[in-house]
Amino acid sequence: MDVISVIRTKRDHGELSDEQIDWVVDAYTRGAVADEQMSALAMAILLNGMTEREISRWTAAMIGSGERLDFSALSRPTVDKHSTGGVGDKITLPLAPLVAACGAAVPQLSGRGLGHTGGTLDKLESIPGWRARLSGEEVLRVLEEVGAVICAAGEGLAPADRKLYALRDVTGTVESIPLIASSIMSKKIAEGTGSLVLDVKVGTGAFMKTLDDARELARTMVALGGDAGVRTVALLTDMSTPLGRTAGNALEVRESVEVLAGGGPSDVVDLTVALAREMLAGAGIDGVDPADALRDGRAMDVWRRMITAQGGDPDAPLPTARETHTVTAPRDGVLTRLDAYAVGLAAWRLGAGRARKEDAVQAGAGVELHAKPGESVRAGQPLLTLHTDTPEVFQYALGALDADALTISPPGTPHAARPVVLERIA
């Protein structure tokens, strides 16, 4: 078996055999296949796709590259959630403690930023002292005592995916449905959760731009979960406009705390509650309304305990960027378009994301939204505030926010709001 023949098979629209898949995943994990070779194979997969059999085998090979966790000793049922990535998607932060406050255990193994989308771990690391890396014993202890943990996958959990995930981020191969599905599901199945809810984003700010592509990805992942005995449900959710009013790391943590305090933007609250209801149903917990746990402070209590258990200080001031730049409305009217991808790209250019897998991110960088589609604006009114420690990138970020990214229509123009949850697939 050699990597060149594997690359050529997929490059020439062929179907990889089980033996080829098992070998190349194992060889890449061991370092016998170089990054540039796996990059070529990932690009061939993106361009030419995979059959259901190939995806299933690739996922199994990723799981087989490492260990599997076991949460059967916990006193609570386990349930997890995964988002395919979006702009301003801070949902995991209020969601995990909310579901834990309602009686489930939430082992939320999360990742870092991928392309123009934010990473949950990058956001939480803006909290002073907070640790993403926990031992298996620490994860079990926090889950039993607190009910929720948000952390990085351990070194032994699907190590093939950890290497490939970072590689896809910097080689233009993020959007491949087979690679997205196998990446997500290999970690979630190996994680050992009892049930899983998927938040599959669709729109300009998502990796899936169309409903058809989002459905294909959701159905692929739901099938992979079912095959592995994990009850899996997917919600297709809108990502044509950023979620909430912030895109960036510390900015999104601040907004998440507002949601946990009973406030926050309505779209963030609505999606958080919708996903919480699905997670509780998957965990077999009936008769509990997660909206009540947001209102009465139970979710906030779990958040504070969860952050403290991972070394963070929930009362510490969050980092702020040294420099800001405000974009104002050029005329009166109605904001009818605020493109999620453009905002995500601007946040990435400001330092909230990374261009190389080894790059650091700026905790305070990002974009603050002062108006959302459907709202009336006046000439000179702030629309966006850009935050960064490196003011020389302002013009680079502003280049993403062109006339196609923000549309101000004449006063009185009607605007039909798109629902945040578009479809459910089970």
Active site residues: 82, 161, 168, 183, 187
Cα–Cα distances in Å, from 343 out to 170, 194, 255, 293, 326? 19, 36, 17, 31, 14
3-state class (DSSP) for residue 32:
coil
Cα–Cα distances in Å, from 120 out to 86, 151, 256, 313? 11, 9, 12, 17
- Can you read off the two tokens belonging to residue 298? 């139970």
Quickly count: other Cβ atoms within 10 Å of residue 31's Cβ: 9
Strands (E), 40-194: 79-83, 106-110, 148-152
In whole angstroms, what is the distance from residue 275 CA to residue 308 CA?
Answer: 25
| Closest to 279 in 3D by CA, of 299, 297, 265 | 299
- Can you read off the two tokens belonging to residue 391? 């003011």
In whole angstroms, what is the distance from residue 294 CA to residue 289 CA?
Answer: 9
Quickly count: other Cβ atoms within 10 Å of residue 1's Cβ: 12
The residue behind tokens 């459905």 is 215
Q: How many residues are present in the chain? A: 426
With left for phi above 0 and alpha for psi between -120 and 50, is residue 178 left, alpha or beta? alpha
